[in-house]
Amino acid sequence: MSVSLLFPEGKSKATDTSFAERLSADLMLDESFSYITADITKRRYFLSVLADVQPDPDIPLYRAEILSDFCSKPNLLEGLCIELRQLSELRDDQQAERSRFYSVIRSTDSESAFVTAAGIAEVSSAAARKTLKKLAGIGELLRIYTCQSRGLTALRERVAKLTTGPKFEELCELLGHTSSFGMDATYKMRAELNGYARIASYELTGVTRPTPAEEVSGLKRLFAKKPNGAAHISGVRVDDKWGVLQNDVLSGAMREIAELAHSISQAVFDEFLPLLRELCFYEVAAAYVEAMRKKRLPLCYPELTSDGPARYEELYDLFLCASYIDAGSVVPNDADLSHGGILVTGANNTGKTVFLRSVGTAQLLAQAGLPIIAKSATVRMRCGVYSLYAAAEKEFAPGVDAGRFEQEVRLVAEMLKSIKPGALVLINELFQTTSYPEGAEGLCGILRYLRSDVVGADFIAVTHLTDLIDMMAGETVHMRTLEGENLYKLEKVTRSYWRGIGC
């Protein structure tokens, strides 16, 4: 039974992440978190978890509990990372030492085989003992810090089950005995012969290591008691003039000890080392929480619903908050996605794309179990988040708008093949290079298809094609960016108001 700190059931269900790289780029997630953590490896893993949108509402709750424990006990998170990194180093050292014995001693004579087997047994037994002691250290760390989350409680109980009790101590003691062999020791074996008088099985039952020779004085040697005779040894005497049989039998027994010890270590590595990667997610998440708190920004864990309302009150954009020294100057916005479709219009450089990015980022953070930068929020769980942004102009030479349009059509086609009901689609200035009427009609058809019973997805579309407002009247909510002193604020526009002001 393995414990995962990301999934309550111990493993994840595969989801479609083929659009993850594009979504991350469109929402500027890597840029945002580069201000929070400089470690590229941790950041990439963190973003892969964000992009793996899980529709089960218990998953973000499970992670939020663990993050809350780590934020309130930062020494626990740091301690677990240190212990697991050391466990990873033990694994690497053990593999290197085992490989060294196999590669250095290449002779096939029986004595070399014994030396090789004894060395591998020593390395494997010592490594297994250190591994078990390190696992016990992890258990002690989890015992010291009282945790409330289901994930850390399950981990503590799992480690305690493995490392407490007389059997664990007995195993550690046994591994201590088998971590030192030598040619001068006396070995006791139990062997079974088959019908042809050949050894069918053997077992190492005892090892007696010679004690350091005591210096004996002349008088003591003179009065030392002489033995009455040789001790009687029962058994079968085998002619083994050169010790070949002895070395072969001992080598086989020690290889079995080595593999048994190695399997103990490997079982611990396989079960617990994946947690080190999962902790990268919480390291970045905790750094994100700390960074936003230092900037005195509001953080809230949103209320999660399966098919209820979807609203944000004073939602901030993560990229602006992370990159601005004075994050208090960032303008928040309210948003209500309960209707299912939103059209956003307004002048250039008035915050349309920022609004789109803030909602998409908040959706991913919420479903990953992280707080979002908002006063309050109710988030509807999605089966996926997709982005359709206008093709970058830098990819095309001037005068080839048709090529850009064709690329955008391909992006739409790819998304529609994989999209599932309940997804959220973020559209930014799609078809801006086409003929105005054709672009509006084409985008209208796409938006209606997204909202149809066949797909049932919600969308936010930033567009300059204002004919869509009339085309989709009653089917969408229209939001418009304000100008003047209220720059970067958005408001919901009624149909009569829209007819009066134009855009």
Can you tell me the mean pLDDT for 40-44?
A: 95
Q: Which pLDDT score, from 0 to 100, does residue 33 have?
A: 96
Beta strand pairing status for 186-193 and 199-208?
antiparallel
CA–CA separation, 314 and 333 (whole Å): 5
Burial 407-422, CB ≥16 within 10 A → b, else e? ebeebbeebbeebeeb
Amino acid identity at 274? P
Alpha carbon dihedral 135, 137, 143, 149, in 10-degree steps, equals -50
- Residue 303: exposed, middle, or buried by beta-carbon count in 10 A (0-12, 13-18, 19+)? middle
What are the tens digits of pLDDT across the range 146-196?
899 999 999 999 999 999 989 999 888 888 877 777 666 677 767 777 776
Residue tagged 């080392």 (tokens): 273
Amino acid identity at 275? L
CB distance 264 to 132 below 8 Å: yes
CA–CA separation, 379 and 360 (whole Å): 11
Question: 378 in helix, strand or coil?
Answer: strand
Beta strand pairing status for 376-380 and 303-305?
parallel
125-129, 355-359, 391-395, 437-441: the lowest-pLDDT one: 391-395
* DSSP state letter for 354: H
Structure tokens at 61: 């709750």
* Residues linked to residue 41 through DSSP beta bridges, in sequence order: none
This prediction's pTM:
0.83
The percentage of the chain sitting over the pLDDT mark of 90, rounded to a whole number, equals 48
CA–CA separation, 75 and 73 (whole Å): 5
pLDDT above 80 (res 232): no
Structure tokens at 97: 């030492």
pLDDT above 50 (res 264): yes
What are the tens digits of pLDDT across the range 323-360?
999 998 999 999 998 888 999 999 888 899 999 999 99
Which one of 3.40.50.300, 2.60.40.10, 3.40.190.10, 2.60.120.260 gives the CATH number of domain 297-501?
A: 3.40.50.300
Q: Write phi, then psi, for 243 (nearest 5 degrees).
A: 75, 20
Give me the residue spans of the domains in the chain: 58-210+242-272, 297-501
Amino acid identity at 81? C
Q: How confident is the model at residue 81 (pLDDT cuts 50, 70, 90)?
A: very high
pLDDT above 60 (res 220): no
CA–CA separation, 325 and 201 (whole Å): 73
What are the tens digits of pLDDT across the range 330-340?
999 999 988 88
CA–CA separation, 446 and 452 (whole Å): 10
